[in-house]
Structure 1
């Protein structure tokens, strides 16, 4: 049975790329040995494939426990093998780490009893990491002491590989970076020598060590050096998918520290591309999302930060890793605080604080100060003071631990008597500093009490000030609303004034004509010949028609002054427009012996609102007729300027209008006299809606009033 165990053990730790088998049907086999062999082959195939899926991990545990149940007296070696398999299943599942530790410790006791050094080294390597993950620091220190002793005495290269890797992990966890790098480089050297002798050794482990060295340089702030070692790691991850995901996660972090966010996102996307529906890399994905969330939060881009923080929390929950959940809650709470959701952020920071102390006292301290600030913003001074107190006490503890750690490092570095004496003196100094710290702590508490009283007083004053500010803001808002109402009322009054002025301006002439014709018929009806009577009736009809059209124009103008007025844009025939305008103004032109003619038509069609445009043109013609000399002609032109702008112009012969008068007509919004041309005010308002401008030029030769469309 021992020979069978040796064969299985060699196969177990000589993993190559393969494909997992189907879960074995033991009913097909009769003897226990056949059944155990099939279960072993199945577990080994899962390990060969790589325990990347939780279902594979679960199947590994089930099959291994079945194998243990099949073992009888004399099967200790095979039972030991299946016990290790159970530990692998629980460890890589990353959910039941306590169960993984239990089976590894049980397997370690079995291996020591069976005196299999190779197996002892492998299990101690796994336990080293698990003790750190679960904060079993005392057990870990005892384990490292045993490993260092073996490493110093063994000549077995395989054992050197395993033990140097575990020792480097330990130095890394206690922040002795130079020692960690030294043992990692030794480990890589041992692995390469081992691979030269045994081609079945895992190259993935070399890649993992390069990643670890890169991470150490990243922690030390030597980012380009970190990238060099990450680049060295890449070629060693040919089939190890989780290794690639971890490498890409580290690339994300280092490029963010170099402020190269686009490069970081490339590796972030690569991580997701390697994921499977059932996976065990959710912890790494959560970390990558936390890095991006913290980056964008520091850049005040809270929308991007919130997106990645939310994804980090989702991945952390899927991973089941408590440390990952703590970090994700901390990040999520920090992003919510910066977004202004202080009350909601407190909930997540409190969740993070529950278990943060066990993983990192520094993180726990940062959470405490953030909670203190958040509760201060919420005016909960009692809780703000409580968390500020926790932070102050924890900082003292961290300072003392840092001092002890520094002394321990000095003690380990210098071994001669003189240096030992110096360390003793430093210890005495540290003791004196501890006494001094206690005195300072008392003084600090007194000062904090005074500061707290001053702070509460300031808060009360600030609260009163804010209340006054709020009242002033409300009053200011009401005043602004009142100003807006007054402005609307003033606009309404101006519109009313314009309407009355327009009625006076546009209806005066047609009503006067009607009145004159009706008065003549009333005074001397018998003296009017039948021919004159027909002529008067025709003129009455024309005047009435003009009056009706003018009324319709006024109604349209009034409608244009209302909110939500929409133009009726269509293709306007310029020639037809001019003829319609001439027909409307013909009687008025005849009365003054003025001709209205269509001049140069270089523009045939125009996209505009014909109803508004005819009102504008009629008003311009009316002003032109009023100011034209008797017996002269008015010309209507249309064309396109060199700058591609379209225009319509009205040209008449009249008195020269001064530049000052033109400026007054173009800028005035009020009527000062009957002769000031109120129709131009109507024209300007309607042209604003038609995207047009009014231009006036006057000389001894002619006066030109033009409409230029933009």
Structure 2
């Protein structure tokens, strides 16, 4: 429903009913405006349309349409590029109608060429970059954004350069080129600071916060969200504030502060509802659903995801439809419903294929539009030499063909990567079922068998055999516990439920605990296991994650080290890094096995230990996942018959406390 501001009624009266209004002096509206040129009316209506875009988008469109109709009626062609651009931006960013916006933005582009209006042409490129970023067509967004920045730089138009730098940053963030994205955002900040534009600075801070959030640098992200919120708290900037609140909620969620996350998602929803900002509601509903998933409130989470999908489909936003479908898969993964998660991920891939086809059509359409714009340019440059014009035309065609070839190739690579991820999920599922049905069955069968034999020997009063079977029973229990523990750790890492929580740790304490933990096992195996700490200070690490990593590596070393062998675990520091080495004199690994142990695309079957120990093959996968969560790196060197060395590296943060 269209909302009219009091000022808007005056505009409508002026534009549509000039004879219906009179002053006490008897003058009509036409007489009041007799000394005002039509071009000034058009400019005035256009300016007011732009001012109202946030507070009253419906009224802004009415004013813009009236200005455009007047301009067309009186053939004020110089006003066409700006007015078409205003209408396109409002339809895109304030009404969330990309299809309607596309018509206006193409018209703005064509009219800018005809009127030789470089500024509006650059804005048209920038706005088309916005539109394709909005709909998820990253290759087209990048091409238009590059053209916009190049033209704004050439004419040295500061405001435009700032907008274009932001667009370039947004595109590169989507491509996960985070450092490059931040470079573009910082360029925009410099321009806005020179102009003293606090709102512009606040808007860029918001995008920087989102980028740091994607980089998992949560402390800096929170700082920028807070700085942005301070600069975008005005009545006409409610949507910016809602985006800031959503980002802060995301950080609370990632820190597992579910109460705060729920509170801030609700604040964002309230702000978005105030402005009927359905686009912003999508992400808030997704965030709230994940909170409910962590709280095991399945039905409430599903309800909010369905709401997000309904809005995405109503607005016709392909990128958001994809995001909601993927969120369904992640939602069920958090709930450990792997069957439902796989179904949703398959639906996501199917939807991706459909949208991929749509994007190819968009690319071809833009190529045709490029020909149309080129024709308009040729029509306005009749004084150019015919041969030179044909050469330019041919060059544009070649350039467009190269662009479409590059875009299609890029989409092919992206599609291949998605298929690889699906393959990894299916392999993970198959491995999980294999472990449950086979690897875990063996120790439990042993438990049952040995317990039956033990009971039988006790009844026969054969205590010597009873003692032996009790020992076997204990060994089978320990083996089963190890398998279950590895399976639990792997499952938690796959569902993202292991959080990185660093604390100051004295490695002497950690190594003492581990030495006691393995004391009996190393004696039974007749293996010399020793720990050496060369760190003088406490180090900021996640104690639990590091403990799990070292336990897996030491258990692996014990499994493949002969009697009389040596296992040495050392901790040291070098080049601002903590280095932990687990070195053994065991049987080592072949080159083929060495090259595949950390390959996420395949699971390496666990080789039986020297004492016939069984394993799931998950141990090293768990280590690799946990090292990444700990923001570290892992390297391995091994030679058959000579032993294996695993080397871990983590960022160093020392304390003398």
TM range (shorter): 0.3 to 0.5
Answer with 1 or 2: which has the greater Rg.
1
TM-score computed with the length of structure 1 as normaliser: 0.43
Q: Which has the higher contact order (CA 8 A, sep 6+)?
A: 2
